[in-house]
């Protein structure tokens, strides 16, 4: 019976802990003589896993906890990395190669989809309708 009286408080505490977001650890230091790559990490606004934080990692080190729809940007040396995230039982990882001075967007979905796109390759809106030429 006593468990039933404290159950709401335990559920609230667990829910708040899962919603914590922000910096978790240090980013890799910039040491290269080449221009750094800029990465904007975006968590999708999917309802799947929405209450929990998505724990983003670089080479196995957790660096940021993203909440639903949140994004953050950081600079990193060009080269090869293993980006990933943990969300509930999903432990997702992907090898990426970053070029010097490039801007990237990294989109994360709760079903282990990690999309790395160059900023210039993004489509920012619907495709314009085809133009018709007079005959």
Comparing 50 with 17, which gets the higher pLDDT?
A: 50
DSSP state of 40: E
Residue pLDDT, tens place only, 57-76: 999 999 999 888 889 999 99
* Confidence (pTM): 0.73
Q: Which pLDDT belongs to residue 15?
A: 44
The pLDDT mean for the chain works out to 79
Helix (H) or strand (E) holding 3: helix 2-18
Residue pLDDT, tens place only, 21-71: 788 888 999 999 999 999 999 988 877 767 788 899 999 999 999 888 889
Q: DSSP E strands: which ranges in the chain?
A: 22-23, 37-43, 54-58, 61-66, 71-76, 79-87, 90-98, 103-109, 113-118
């Amino acid at each position: 019976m006593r468990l039933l009286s404290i159950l709401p408080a335990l559920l609230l505490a667990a829910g708040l802990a899962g919603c914590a977001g922000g910096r978790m650890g240090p980013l890799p230091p910039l040491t290269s003589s080449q221009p750094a790559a800029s990465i904007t990490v975006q968590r999708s606004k999917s309802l799947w896993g929405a209450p929990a934080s998505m724990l983003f990692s670089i080479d196995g080190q957790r660096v940021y906890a993203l909440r639903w729809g949140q994004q953050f940007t950081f600079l990193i040396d060009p080269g090869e990395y293993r980006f990933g995230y943990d969300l509930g039982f999903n432990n997702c990882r992907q090898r990426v190669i970053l070029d010097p001075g490039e801007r990237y967007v990294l989109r994360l979905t709760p079903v282990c989809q990690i999309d790395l796109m160059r900023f210039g390759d993004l489509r920012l809106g619907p495709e314009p309708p085809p133009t018709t030429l007079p005959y």
